[in-house]
Amino acid sequence: MAAILLLFVAPLFVADVLMGISTLILNGLFLDIPGNLWSAILANAVRAFTYAMLIIATQLFRYNWKLDDAAMVFGAGPVRTFLEITLPNIWPALLGAFIVTFILSFNNLYISFYTLGAVPTMPSVAWGSLRFGIKPELYAIAALVNAGGLFCLALMFALMRTGKVGFGYKEGRDS
């Protein structure tokens, strides 16, 4: 069990530069695949999977599995138990894992640079513009990205204040 856990946590200890270079070597020398979008997605998924696994594992560690057993005792099948019991209780962890992995992949310059080459991504355009001067378009894109993130946070805050959405563990819900 410890060896399997170590295998899944290992990408945490590898620098992004090494992950990008190793993906380039694997795709170019061993698999004879040119750098493309799918190889960049796969390399980012390997890196982000570890963070997502850790976030979801903490929620599942605290999860009361007796709720699933009780649902199945009362006749719910595995799919219905998952959709009506498990998923509503662990969705904050799934959302958190999605947000963290999206931010990691969105900001990853090295993996995108080594796997995509000359294909412009947001981090590579920002890095390249440092050499020749930042253009106003980059400021506009950065403002839109920040406004989108601020809008998502404001929406989550409004939904939590109204009580339509709750995040995290609430004492007494599963006792």
Task: Report, as an integer, the average pLDDT of 81-98.
Answer: 87
User: What pTM was estimated for this model as a whole?
Assistant: 0.69
If 0-12 CB within 10 Å is exposed, 13-18 middle and 19+ buried, where does residue 44 land? Answer: buried
pLDDT tens digits along 138-166: 788 888 888 988 888 888 788 878 877 66
**How much is the pLDDT for 170?**
55
Token pair of 64, please?
């009361």
Domain of residue 96, residue span: 14-162
Number of domains in the chain: 1
93 part of a folded domain: yes
- CATH number of the domain that residue 101 is part of: 1.10.3720.10
167 confidence band (pLDDT: 50, 70, 90): low
The rounded distance, in Å, linking the Cα atoms of 138 and 93 is 32
